Amino acid sequence: MNVAVIGAGSWGTALAQVAAANGHDVRLWARRPEVAEAVNSAHRNPDYLKDADLSPRIWATPSVEEALVGADAVISVTPSKYVRATAEQLAPVAPASMPIVVCSKGVEVGTGLVPTQVFEELLGNPQRIAALSGPNHAEEIVHGVAAGTVVASESAETAEFFQKLLASETFRVYTSDDVIGVELCAAFKNVIAIAVGVAYGLGYGDNTAAMLMTRGQAEMSRLVAAAGGNPMTCMGLAGTGDLIATCMSRHSRNRMFGEALAAGETLEAYETRRHMVVEGAQACRTLDALSKKYQVELPITDVVRSMVWEGAAPREVADSLAARSLKPEFY
């Protein structure tokens, strides 16, 4: 098939490689013309995953319209804060029946919508839209290191379409009908990874990290259930799987940002230095809106937001969490 991949960051580049390795012809949209030129001439992305030799089946373009010419499917892979702008660009050129899988992770500021909901609002036909999420560090996926992911859609046919398009011996793709559950897990795990990074940065150990991950998953499951999702989704690849990878991996920008935050670095300085968006920094703000909407308590999310956006001191925040009243583990 002909596949359009919208976004030439690390994850978009890795998914383009996955699709090309499966025999599909890929048109990769890159915002900057010089990136597209480098991909086409040297078969390398000069900004992300620089050590990966990209398939000659991948052809890059700075034009969204050109990327969609003759496409049978769209894989949208842009940072969550650009999801609406991406959907607006696709709306005039993507046919109403074209399958689209959204790989952004987060919740939109102001509306509280997850990425697939933004796409549904602007492009219609939710039956052709899916979400993809899982423990998928691009640095490993692009080199064919074994991994698994989940594709969720209201339509079993759409989920199975993308399962067949992307699945391989090294990239196992599972299906789900719990779109909201998968999307909220994707947003949550980045927030908890920042908390884990802060803990390590302050000198805490693996026991502390495990506690934060487990209690973070409890927050995750409470909100997923309140929003109409299946709490069991939080035990799957989009929940536990991605939580483990994002909190513990050396590739995790969210965990690394947490460590930098504990050392006094600001979000702006970190993103400038790393040339990457810290999705958890946005998610800790937007999840607050859902917390209020569904009246669900999210204490770890709250303290991460206070550190990132309100200047709270990490050591004082850690002390405030430790001082919380004790309660039953499951409630």
Contact assessment for residue 160 and residue 268, using Cβ atoms and an 8 Å cutoff: no
State the pLDDT at residue 251.
82
State the pLDDT at residue 327.
87
The Cβ of residue 122 has, within 10 Å, a number of other Cβ atoms equal to 15
Residue percentage of the chain with pLDDT more than 70 = 100
In this structure, of 38-47, 156-165, 280-289, the range with the lowest mean pLDDT score is 280-289
On whether the 187-322 domain is CATH 3.40.630.30, my answer is: no
Name the residue ranges covered by the structural domains of the chain. 2-177, 187-322
Strand order across the 129-133 sheet: 58-61, 25-29, 2-6, 73-76, 100-102, 129-133, 147-153, 171-176
CA angle 138, 86, 25 (to 5 degrees): 55
State the pLDDT at residue 330.
79
* pLDDT reading at 304 higher than 70: yes
- Residue tagged active-site, from 105, 164, 189, 292: 189
Q: What is the arithmetic mean of pLDDT over 218-237?
A: 96
Q: What is the arithmetic mean of pLDDT over 218-227?
A: 96
pLDDT band at 250 (very low <50, low <70, confident <90, very high): confident
Q: What is the arithmetic mean of pLDDT over 130-141?
A: 96
pLDDT band at 276 (very low <50, low <70, confident <90, very high): confident
* pLDDT reading at 227 higher than 80: yes
Query: What CATH architecture applies to the domain 2-177?
Result: 3-Layer(aba) Sandwich (3.40)
- pLDDT greater at residue 276 or residue 54: 54
DSSP code for 200: H
Q: Is 164 exposed, middle or buried (0-12, 13-18, 19+ CB in 10 A)?
A: exposed
Q: Is 1 exposed, middle or buried (0-12, 13-18, 19+ CB in 10 A)?
A: middle
Active site residue 189: yes
pLDDT tens for 1-54 read: 999 999 999 999 999 999 999 999 999 999 999 999 999 999 999 999 999 999
pLDDT band at 320 (very low <50, low <70, confident <90, very high): very high
pLDDT band at 254 (very low <50, low <70, confident <90, very high): very high
pLDDT band at 59 (very low <50, low <70, confident <90, very high): very high
Mean pLDDT of the chain: 95
State the pLDDT at residue 331.
66
State the pLDDT at residue 261.
96
Alpha-helix residue ranges (DSSP H) falling in the chain: 10-21, 33-42, 64-67, 83-90, 115-123, 138-141, 156-166, 179-201, 206-226, 242-248, 253-262, 267-274, 279-294, 299-310, 314-322
In this structure, of 14-28, 197-211, 256-270, 277-291, the range with the lowest mean pLDDT score is 277-291
